[in-house]
Amino acid sequence: MRPRLDAPSHAALHLPAHPVTKTSPQETYPEVDFTDIEAPRALKAPLKSATPTLLINLVVQEAPVQEVLLAIARESGLNIDIHPGLRGKVTLHALQQSVPSILARLSRQVDMYYEWSNGVWLITPDTPVIRSYKLNYVNISRDTTGYIGVASEINSTGRAATGGGNSGGAQLATLLSGNSNSSRTAVTSQARFHLWESVIENIQALLDDTDKATTARDEVLESHALAPETAAGANDAASPVVAEKVKQAQVRWRASRLIANPETGIVTIRTSQSQQAQVRAYLESVMQVAARQVLIEATIVEVELSKSFQMGIDWSRLSASAEQRGWQFAQSLGNDAAQFNRKSGSWESNNSKNALGQNNGNVALMLGYFNPFSRLGNLSASVTLLEQFGKTRVLSSPKLMVLNNQTAILKVVDNLVYFTIQSQISQGSSVGGGNLQAVTTTANTVPVGLVMAVTAQINSHQRVNLNVRPTVSKVLRYIEDPNPQLGTGSNRIVSSIPEIQVREMESVLNIATGHIAVLGGLMQEDQREFTDRIPGVSRLPILGQAFVGKNQAAKKTELIVFLRPTVIGRADVNAGDLQSFQPLLPEALPADAFELNLGEPL
């Protein structure tokens, strides 16, 4: 006979159990390594294969959880051990549910932990336990500060750099300081990556919130349980004091503890089983996102424009040469003179008038995008397309592998050395003595070449947000220091200061994996004048100009930057996403690739 549950405070209805489809009676609950978060352990995982599971119906209202568990054991025929400290009342309406499913629902109403071990369900209160988790991430904190500034003042210098540390604020203040009539522009970018610090703070906040919720629920249960005792012993003055001490002791005992050791990558947590499940889910999501990485291929090309393209590269030709048309350009002087038709991929003037009162015909130099997923193909094909606009020269073709939200810097430069001189003149101590001069020279270096900083953020849709900043610099000429203290005549010391040309850009882009972004428009014009003269005759007044030949040459170049991010799922050259680099491995090259031909000069 089934024991009756006390009515009317609660009621229970048990229907005959129905067997589930075939399951293997030999299967057991899999053992899981608690010390590694990479081996997922589902505390409340589907346990349909843990026991010969039966489907039962259970309807209870405000029933003691121990009586409900005993009724489940009788109906299912399973062995269940119930801890005497388990308490609480539950309300449940379950139809055709398995025992693991019902236990999971009960654990959401009371502090209960269940485990299948050696053919027995062990049901205990959800008391604090100790679990250790491994975070396989390097113990490093990185702060990156990039700044770029331009000043229109003659005695000011524009600065541009990318570095680490916390000195960006002082450098920015120095850049912005100056006279009130000067014009200055500065952009500062800061990136902060402290994974271990953030994880520890977030786990502690998660444990604190769940501790508060658990304490509040315990107070409610305690108030219901102590209500009869409080009424019976209302005249006992010591009972409130004792109850308060018991409450404080329970709070201290149930409080969570967090121990982190970043040097070994281990986080140890003492908390309840339900909180352990929340911590595990949080760590798994954090590590999954932090482990994403992207391969960024960049190609920096300098195009010497031909005469027919002196105004710059015709990007419409470049997009038309690709399989799918992308960017479209047009120009108009009217506000709403032209509209871009996304279906046809062209500009329509709509016969409107521009600012000069004229009807718009062919429009130019306006921007529209026809296909947001247009690809120009691979980088080498894109560079080849540029040859129709002039001579091309690849300045650099770097490739960087970057982790999610990390900053990578590529620097290929020559550090040019120049000297600054300080002279201090003092009067001699002896009578009639001359002045004493102390000269101090300081060596300085300036990098000339390519510097590229990239910060990537990878989302779950295979799109990459890039903060990219390429900088290309070269020496234009050397200027002599006019310091009079350097001497005159044969004793003069020449101190040459390099004049550096810098071309750089900074932008934030959103690119799909495998697609190509193009940054262009950095144009430079170089004019040179050559003079040929006949010695002697060319110096004659008036007639000498007939014996002088002058030749003027002008060259215009444009700097183009191609970027292609590729999200890497498996970083393996042999069987992963990096197989395209397999031919570049030393074992894949010909046997004579590293042999030195002594017959040819180095």
Domain closes at, from 193, 213, 230 = 193
Pairing, β 548-568 against β 293-305: antiparallel
Looking up tokens 């001579």 gives 391
Q: Is residue 346 one of the residues assigned to a domain?
A: no
- Over residues 336-351, mean pLDDT: 48
pLDDT in tens, 67-105: 999 999 888 888 899 998 888 899 999 898 888 889 989
Cα distance between residue 27 and residue 29, in whole Å: 7
Q: Is residue 344 one of the residues assigned to a domain?
A: no
Range of the domain at 181: 142-193
pLDDT band of 254, cuts 50, 70, 90? low
Q: Is residue 307 one of the residues assigned to a domain?
A: yes
Which pLDDT score, from 0 to 100, does residue 551 have?
65
- Over residues 487-502, mean pLDDT: 78
> How is residue 359 annotated by DSSP?
B
Instruction: Give 558 or 268, the one with higher predicted confidence.
Output: 268
Give the containing element (helix H, strand E) for 101.
helix 99-107
Torsion sign, CA atoms 301, 307, 309, 311: positive
Across 10-24, 383-397, 477-491, which has the greatest mean pLDDT?
Answer: 477-491
Which pLDDT score, from 0 to 100, does residue 330 have?
43
Cα distance between residue 282 and residue 275, in whole Å: 11
| Same-domain status, 202 and 86 | no
Which pLDDT score, from 0 to 100, does residue 7 have?
38
pLDDT band of 557, cuts 50, 70, 90? confident
| Same-domain status, 92 and 236 | no
User: Percentage of the chain surpassing pLDDT 90?
Assistant: 10
- Over residues 330-349, mean pLDDT: 46
Cα distance between residue 274 and residue 112, in whole Å: 9
Which pLDDT score, from 0 to 100, does residue 152 have?
64
Alpha helix (H) residue ranges in 139-298 = 168-176, 195-232, 239-254, 273-290
> In 3-state terms, what secondary structure has residue 32?
coil
Closest CA to 142 of 409, 366, 357: 409
Residue 235 pLDDT more than 60? no
Q: Which residues pair with 541 in a beta bridge?
A: none
| Same-domain status, 444 and 533 | yes
Instruction: Give 35 or 275, the one with higher predicted confidence.
Output: 275
- Over residues 439-459, mean pLDDT: 88
CB atoms closer than 10 angstroms to residue 72? 21
| Same-domain status, 221 and 313 | no
Which pLDDT score, from 0 to 100, does residue 336 have?
45
| Same-domain status, 573 and 434 | yes
Distance from the first to the final alpha carbon of the chain: 100
Which pLDDT score, from 0 to 100, does residue 335 have?
43
Give the CATH number for residue 113: 3.55.50.30
Instruction: Give 466 or 377, the one with higher predicted confidence.
Output: 466
Ramachandran class of 524: left when φ > 0, alpha when ψ lies in -120 to 50, beta otherwise:
beta
Cα distance between residue 129 and residue 218, in whole Å: 18
pTM over 0.75: no
| Same-domain status, 451 and 572 | yes
Residue 556 pLDDT more than 80? no
Residue 32 pLDDT more than 80? no
Which pLDDT score, from 0 to 100, does residue 366 have?
38
| Same-domain status, 394 and 414 | yes
Which pLDDT score, from 0 to 100, does residue 200 have?
92
Looking up tokens 């390594």 gives 33
| Same-domain status, 99 and 73 | yes
- Over residues 240-255, mean pLDDT: 55
CB atoms closer than 10 angstroms to residue 535? 7
How much is the mean pLDDT over the chain? 70
Q: Which residues pair with 142 in a beta bridge?
A: 193
Q: Is residue 254 one of the residues assigned to a domain?
A: yes
Which pLDDT score, from 0 to 100, does residue 383 have?
53
Closest CA to 313 of 383, 397, 266: 383
Cis peptide leading into residue 398 (ω within 30°): no
- The residue type of 451 is V
Which pLDDT score, from 0 to 100, does residue 283 have?
92
Q: Is residue 359 one of the residues assigned to a domain?
A: no
pLDDT band of 523, cuts 50, 70, 90? confident
Closest CA to 564 of 454, 473, 471, 460: 454
Domain closes at, from 102, 126, 150 = 126
CB neighbours of 393 closer than 8 A, spacing ≥ 6? 301, 302, 303, 304
Cα distance between residue 216 and residue 357, in whole Å: 75
Pseudo-torsion of CA 82, 84, 86, 89, nearest 10°? Answer: 90
What is the CA 495 to chain-centroid distance, rounded?
Answer: 45
- Over residues 165-185, mean pLDDT: 53
Q: Is residue 23 one of the residues assigned to a domain?
A: yes
Which pLDDT score, from 0 to 100, does residue 242 have?
52
pLDDT band of 385, cuts 50, 70, 90? low
Residue 51 pLDDT more than 60? no
Cα distance between residue 47 and residue 177, in whole Å: 68
Residue 358 pLDDT more than 50? no
Residue 288, classified by CB atoms within 10 Å of its CB into exposed (0-12), middle (13-18) or buried (19+), is exposed
Across 22-36, 358-372, 442-456, 533-547, which has the greatest mean pLDDT?
Answer: 442-456
What is the CA 121 to chain-centroid distance, rounded?
Answer: 45
Residue 247 pLDDT more than 80? no
CA angle 353, 358, 361 (to 5 degrees): 80
The pair of structure tokens assigned to 590 is 């010909």
Which pLDDT score, from 0 to 100, does residue 18 have?
40
Domain closes at, from 71, 96, 126 = 126
pLDDT band of 431, cuts 50, 70, 90? low
Cα distance between residue 452 and residue 562, in whole Å: 13
Q: Which of 194-208, 432-446, 509-523 has the lowest average pLDDT?
A: 432-446
- Over residues 184-199, mean pLDDT: 86
- Over residues 369-391, mean pLDDT: 49
| Same-domain status, 186 and 315 | no
**At 530, phi and psi to the nearest 5?**
-115, 140
Is residue 199 a contact partner of residue 286, using CB atoms and an 8 Å limit? Answer: yes
| Same-domain status, 182 and 212 | no
Residue 429 pLDDT more than 70? no
Pairing, β 79-82 against β 120-125: parallel
The pair of structure tokens assigned to 70 is 């005993």
Which pLDDT score, from 0 to 100, does residue 574 have?
82
The pair of structure tokens assigned to 415 is 């550090």
Give the containing element (helix H, strand E) for 411.
strand 407-427
Q: Provide the number of structural domains found in the chain.
A: 4
Q: Is residue 315 one of the residues assigned to a domain?
A: yes
Q: Is residue 57 one of the residues assigned to a domain?
A: yes
| Same-domain status, 98 and 202 | no
- Over residues 502-526, mean pLDDT: 82
Is residue 33 a contact partner of residue 132, using CB atoms and an 8 Å limit? Answer: no
Instruction: Give 207 or 250, the one with higher predicted confidence.
Output: 207
CB neighbours of 103 closer than 8 A, spacing ≥ 6? 112, 114, 121, 123
Instruction: Give 355 or 397, the one with higher predicted confidence.
Output: 397
| Same-domain status, 385 and 513 | yes
Residue 305 pLDDT more than 80? no
Cα distance between residue 419 and residue 442, in whole Å: 5
